[in-house]
Amino acid sequence: MNDHVSRLLAALAYPLTSGRRTLAAGLVAVATYCLLILSTFPTYSMQLLGADMGYLDEAVVALTANIYQTTGALGLSLVVAYAVTTGVALTAAVGRARVADRTGVRGLSSVVPGLLASGCASCGAGILGLLGFAGALATLPFQGNLLRLAGLCLLLGYLSRLGDPRQCAVTPAE
Amino acid sequence: MYIQFPYLSQGSLTAAVMDRCVWRQVRDDNPGRYRDWHSTVFDEQGEKGSGWASTDNLLDITRGVDGVDADAVDSCMQTDRADIESSIAADVTKAQELGLRGSPASIFYNRDTGDTGRLVGAQPYARFETEITAVQNA
């Protein structure tokens, strides 16, 4: 248990180990946040951005207000936490892939499954809306907060296995 | 023209039925009261699933709107509810056929040419101007 916690903390701290990593994690987090927010009302987002990408800020602000009103501070906090964790996870995954390239260990194949498993658990409600389930987010238990929490737990679980991507854990021989 | 699109819960349907009852009650003598009623309900809405859209609570809200006879609305709810629900179900089916999957959504129709436009969600005013102009000039 302590190993998992220490690996999780190491993974969370990894983007802070250089300016480039911090910037990369921040950009991914912002992009993920926009994607998650826009996916809460996909037909609206697609129509508005299809007309003019200049509406991106307006759409993000409007849907942020909407998600706050429908799911409360908890729902919005979960989206922010999911976006930040995704930024950390992707940065760490790239770091692990680079180390793997140098060491000859399996590369992306060792990190992609974890990210895919986390995948789009949080924006799943948006995809439901895209498929035609009207008000999918509002009809889900706790307005989709449970789905967001599940996605966040998967990401944190992935990070707790990954740890600091620059270090490889070696299991001692018995 | 407003078309109801209740999809969240039984409360949504109750509110949609009462909306029609209110309109029937005010449309001949004082149609402007409908907007007052609609705004009041919007302002006083509660949390989803809290039961705020029950018939009793909506009638209480209605009693606070000048020019709307809550007793007449109550009577309509009791006698005409089934018919209105059938009408709303037909509207929902029609809206779905038009590709609408949520609310609010707006349809623009040019009677002369038959051309239509559609906007989903509360989009900026400029988008409405653009869409209306496009349908008018189609």
Model confidence at A132: pLDDT above 80: no
| Residues B86, B24 share a domain | yes
Choose among B7, B120, B127: nearest Cβ to A135. B7
State pTM to two decimals: 0.73
% of chain B with per-residue pLDDT over 70: 99
Mark out chain A residues that contact chain B at CB-CB < 8 A. Answer: 41, 43-44, 47-48, 51, 55, 58, 62, 70, 129, 132-135, 138-139, 143
Residues of chain B with C-beta less than 8 angstroms from the C-beta of A143: 48
B53 domain-assigned: yes
In a domain, B17, yes or no: yes
How big is the A-B interface in CB pairs under 8 Å?
Answer: 41
Per-residue pLDDT for A131 more than 60?
no
Specify the pLDDT at position A101. 67
Contact predicate B18/B77, CB 8 Å: yes
Q: Residue B68's pLDDT is what?
A: 94
Q: What is the largest CA-CA distance in chain A?
A: 64
- Which residues in chain A are contacts of B122 at CB distance < 8 A? 62
Q: Which domain holds residue B17?
A: 10-97
Note the pLDDT of residue A161: 81
In a domain, B59, yes or no: yes
Q: Is residue B75 part of a domain?
A: yes
B122 shares a domain with B71: no
Please indicate whether, in this complex, the C-beta atoms of B101 and A132 are within 8 angstroms of each other: yes
Q: What is the pLDDT of residue A162?
A: 79
Q: Is residue A67 very low, low, confident or very high in pLDDT (cuts 50, 70, 90)?
A: confident
Residue A145 near residue A125 (C-beta atoms within 8 A): no
Q: How far B124 CA lies from chain A's nearest CA (Å)?
A: 9
Q: A12 or A144: whose pLDDT is higher?
A: A12
Coil, helix or strand for A64? Answer: helix
Same domain, B84 and B110: no
Interhelix angle B32-43/B55-63, nearest 10 degrees: 120
pLDDT at A141: 56
B113 plus B54 within the same structural domain: no
pLDDT tens by residue, A19-35: 999 999 999 999 989 98
Q: What does the alpha-carbon distance between residue B121 and residue A47 come to, in Å, rounded to a whole number?
A: 9
In this predicted structure, which of A71-75, A82-86, A126-130, A158-162 has the lowest mean pLDDT?
A: A126-130
Are B37 and B68 members of one domain?
Answer: yes
Percent of chain B predicted with pLDDT > 90: 63
Same domain? B36 vs B59: yes
Does residue B27 lie in a domain region?
Answer: yes
Same domain, B39 and B74: yes
Positive/negative CA dihedral, B130, B133, B135, B138: negative
Residues from chain B that touch A132, judged by Cβ atoms under 8 A, are: 101
Which DSSP symbol is given to A173?
A: P
pLDDT band at A103 (very low <50, low <70, confident <90, very high): low
B16 and B70 assigned to the same domain: yes
* Top-confidence residue, A107 or B51: B51
> Tell me, what's the pLDDT at A66?
86
- Cβ contact A51–B7 (<8 Å): no
Q: Report how far apart, in Å, the C-alpha atoms of B123 and of each of A148, B104, B127, B129 are.
A: 26, 10, 6, 11
The interface predicted TM-score (ipTM) is 0.71
More reliable by pLDDT, A153 or A132:
A153
Q: What is the pLDDT along chain B (138 residues), one digit of tens a residue?
A: 888 888 777 888 999 999 999 999 999 989 999 999 999 999 998 877 778 999 999 999 999 999 999 999 999 999 999 999 999 999 888 888 877 877 888 989 999 998 988 898 889 999 999 999 999 997
**Of B5, B7, B121, Cβ closest to residue A44:** B121
- The answer to whether residue B1 sits within a structural domain is no
Whether residues B82 and B130 share a domain: the answer is: no
Residue A174 has pLDDT above 70, yes or no: no
Q: Domain count of chain B?
A: 2
The answer on B82 and B37 residing in a single domain is yes
Mean pLDDT along residues A45-73: 90
Residue B2 lies in a domain: no
Answer yes or no: do B48 and A135 touch at CB < 8 A.
Answer: no
Give, rounded to a whole angstrom, the gap between the first and last alpha carbons of chain A. 21
8 A C-beta contact, residue A87 and residue A15? yes
Whole-number average pLDDT of chain A: 77
CB A10 within 8 A of CB A166: no
Mark whether B21 and B46 lie in a shared domain: yes
Are residues B56 and B89 located together in one domain of the fold?
yes
- Is residue B5, in this structure, part of any structural domain at all? no
Residue of B92, B93, B123, B128 to mutate, interface with A, max A Cβ within 10 Å: B123
For chain B, what is the HEC assignment? CCCCCCCCCHHHHHHHHHHHHHHHHHCCCCCHHHHHHHHHHHHCCCCCCCCCCCHHHHHHHHHCCCCCCHHHHHHHHHHHHHHHHHHHHHHHHHHHHCCCCCCCEEEEECCCCCCEEEEECCCCHHHHHHHHHHHHCC
